[in-house]
Chain A
Amino acid sequence: MKKRVLITRKRYIFLGFAMVAAAVGLLFFDGLPDATRLQADQLLLKSMKKGHYINSDQLAETIINGDPSLLLIDLRDSVQYAHYSLPNAMNIPYQKILNKDYVGYFDQDQFKVVLYSNDHLIAEQAWLLLTSKNFSNLYVLEGGLNNFFSTIIQPKEPLATADRNEFERYNTRKAAGYYFGFPMPRTVSSGTSSGISETGGILKGKKRKAITIRKKKKKKVGGC
């Protein structure tokens, strides 16, 4: 009887030990490297759909409307960021995106995160890496800051023969450009400025030309 009890106790110990060993084994078995990442073919398909691009018009509108869920992230280095960046943008140089201090900004689903750099090459590659880690709600500013400047801050005037919509878009962009700090002619001087008459508000500062009205002389009408 005593012997049997001993064996059963030993069985307990053996089972317990085996389970602990298995648990420790599982701890060290992390499978394949990065098994949790999005698979290569799915990742490429996602990038080819281009659903993650946001163009400068959309971004300008979102910023001006003050969307509280927008989070702008400047991926350039801190020197370039100090020179100029979009309003309220955060600087996370692309080398640091997976640092534990910063990864929390990408690994969330409350903010709409817009990544940008000068062009969209670095932003796109950073997006690809972050998306492969299954982070969502990430967007890329198409064309980057370069394109943002050439469309919003310095928009090209459409041709005189252009569509009416194009003129409207030009006016919207021009107005957005003033929001982003392009100097308004009115604030610079009170002098006249030609070519900016397209935007309604600017006309106020224009000096009026004194027009002298010539009086028409009355023609004497007579005769038969």
Chain B
Amino acid sequence: MKELKQTNKIFIAGIVFFSLILIGILTMKKPSLPYQMTAEEAIQLIGNKDKMVSINQLSQEGYQLIDIRNQFEYANGHIDNATNVYAADLFEPFSIRFFKQLKKDGKKILLYGKDIHEASDSWMILSQLGFDNIYYLKEGYNGYQLLQAKKSLASLKEPEKPTLDYANFFVEARKKMKNAAIAASAPTTKKKAFTIRKKKKKKVGGC
């Protein structure tokens, strides 16, 4: 009889144990937007040039343009046919539904901000959520404005391209400075012969 009581206790403890595990699993927080990629896989997205779209390619393929700047900036001017989804609203249910619909239709989505940096974070997160049809604009809205004004895009920097030859920069700078110093010091070595004119004595005298 004593042993039976003990087994009952163990049995109850076992049931409690299992139910705790079950409750734990059932109430586990599921992220509403789970990543479809591990962080290790997402490394290949960093600096990925295949997903950068240059502004010259814009008209060639049918991109659905998404302007991720805020509504005031959008109202001030935007690329033709762009839809405004402010970056902070990208994960609202309505925008996610919109993106899913576009993916279903087989359309390519092109994000743009004022420059490449503004769009890159949104692009990278959305790509990790499983949207493989998302691209981002290399020149941003600034580039579009330059094109509209018929100016060249040369003033925009190519992303991640060094602007200087860092290896030789300091050597060059030293050389340049030396030359400048020689040039500057050259004329001062010559002494100018001043001819001092004697002032004639003025005769100062009475009235």
Contact = CB atoms under 8 A, between A and B. Distances in A.
Interface of A: 4-5, 8, 11-12, 15, 18-19, 22, 26, 29, 31-35, 37, 39-41, 43-45, 47-48, 80, 83-84, 94-95, 97-98, 117-122, 124-126, 128-129, 132-133, 145-146, 149-150, 153, 181-183, 185, 188-189, 191-194, 207, 209, 212, 214, 217, 219-224
Contacts of B206: 222-224
B181 A40 contact: no
Nearest to A220: B204
Given A19-B17, A149-B169, 20 more contacts: A4-B3, A15-B14, A35-B31, A37-B39, A39-B31, A44-B91, A45-B88, A80-B166, A94-B46, A97-B43, A117-B160, A121-B47, A122-B46, A124-B120, A125-B46, A129-B43, A183-B170, A183-B174, A191-B185, A192-B181
Interface in B120-167: 120-122, 124-125, 128-129, 157, 159-164, 166-167
Contact of A125 (B36, B124, B181): B124
B162 to A, nearest CB: 5
A182 B47 contact: no
A71 to B, nearest CB: 20
A193 B181 contact: yes
Given A94-B43, A124-B120, A22 B18 contact: yes
Interface string B1-18: 001100100110010011
B28 interface: yes
Nearest to A210: B191
Contact of B120 (A43, A125, A194, A209): A125
Contact of B205 (A97, A122, A223): A223
Contact of B43 (A11, A35, A98, A217): A98
A223 B205 CA distance: 5
Given A44-B87, A83-B167, A222 B205 contact: yes
Interface in B184-200: 184-185, 188, 194, 196, 199
Interface of B: 3-4, 7, 10-11, 14, 17-18, 21, 25, 28, 30-40, 42-43, 45-47, 87-88, 90-91, 116-117, 120-122, 124-125, 128-129, 157, 159-164, 166-167, 169-170, 173-174, 177-178, 180-182, 184-185, 188, 194, 196, 199, 201-202, 204-207
A54 B33 CA distance: 30
Contact of A119 (B11, B159, B178): B159
